[in-house]
Structure formats: structure tokens, C-alpha cells
């Protein structure tokens, strides 16, 4: 296959992979589930849920720490899903040893 054909095929697979990642959701939790953060496979935050008891406690610093932890966990899980999806989609098209994690965004 010529280079233009391969590029067109790669572009098609990239669009498919991106559409798939938009539908994937992952959740990060912290504080024993008191903070739950949902993100898409494209590493976009969809929602943040905070238990009422945590809000009533009035400990701003703890809430901030739990939010950061939940966000980081959700984004890490989304990144893992993106890397896995890219490997499945492009694995046979890309030489071994090349990191595909940043390819699909």
C-alpha cells in the first residue's frame, strides 16, 4: 500500500479510536469513596460527586486534598484506557517500542 493510503487508513483508525474513547468512562475515588470523579477516555472530567458528610465537616483542606487525589486517579485511569485503546487500534501499524499513549486525544 502506498504512503498516502496508509496515512488515510491511519486517519480513519484515529477517528474511530477517538469516538470510542469519548464513550468510555472511568471513575477515580478518594476518601473511601467520599469523593468520586468520572472522566472520559479522552481525559475530560464529566462529573464530581462529594458525599454530604464531607461537605458538612467543613474541613476545606481535606476536601481539596481528596479532590486532587480523585481527579488524579480518574485521569490516570483515563490515560491507561487511551493507551490500551491506541495499542489495540494501531498496534499492528506501528513498529514495536513506540509509545502510543499520546496518539489518541
For the stretch 14-19, contacts whose Cβ atoms lie closer than 8 Å and that sit 24 or more positions apart, written own/partner, are 14/89, 14/103, 14/104, 16/89, 17/85, 17/86, 17/89, 17/90, 17/104, 18/42, 18/104, 18/105
Q: Going from the N-terminus, what domains does the chain have, and what CATH number goes with each?
A: 27-90 (3.30.1310.10)
Residues 6+ apart with CB under 8 A from 68: none
Rounded mean pLDDT, 57-83 = 94
Q: How confident is the model at residue 12 (pLDDT cuts 50, 70, 90)?
A: confident
Per-residue confidence (pLDDT) for residue 93, from 0 to 100: 62
| CA dist., res. 88 & res. 31, Å (int) | 33
Is the pLDDT at 105 greater than 50? The verdict is: no
Rounded mean pLDDT, 41-68 = 94
Amino acid at each position: 500500500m502506498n504512503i498516502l493510503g496508509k496515512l488515510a487508513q491511519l486517519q480513519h483508525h484515529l477517528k474511530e479510536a477517538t469516538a470510542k474513547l469519548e464513550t468510555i468512562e472511568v471513575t477515580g475515588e478518594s476518601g473511601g469513596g467520599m469523593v468520586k470523579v468520572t472522566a472520559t477516555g479522552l481525559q475530560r472530567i464529566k462529573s464530581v460527586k462529594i458525599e454530604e458528610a464531607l461537605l458538612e465537616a467543613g474541613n476545606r483542606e481535606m476536601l481539596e486534598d481528596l479532590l486532587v487525589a480523585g481527579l488524579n486517579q480518574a485521569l490516570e485511569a483515563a490515560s491507561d484506557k487511551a493507551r490500551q485503546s491506541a495499542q489495540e487500534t494501531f498496534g499492528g501499524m506501528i513498529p514495536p517500542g513506540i509509545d502510543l499513549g499520546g496518539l489518541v486525544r
